[in-house]
Amino acid sequence: MLGLESLLILCAYILSITSCGLCVIYGIKNWNENN
């Protein structure tokens, strides 16, 4: 069980970074299409 909390924190961190990246990419695509 050693390191399980660290693994969960790492997964949550990667998931949040991925979500932010997807939101930014989606916003840029929409901005380019609208302008």
What pLDDT does residue 22 have? 97
* Per-residue model confidence (pLDDT) at position 26: 95
**Six token digits for residue 33:** 């299409």
pLDDT at 35: 80
In whole angstroms, how far apart are CA 24 and each of 4, 7, 18, 21, 34?
30, 26, 10, 5, 15
Provide the pLDDT for residue 20.
Answer: 96
Alpha-carbon distance of 8 to 15, in angstroms, equals: 10
Write down the pTM of the prediction: 0.62
Give the per-residue pLDDT at 1: 58
Q: Chunked in runs of 10, what are the mean pLDDT values of the chain (35 residues)?
A: 88 97 95 89
Residue type, position 24, single letter: V
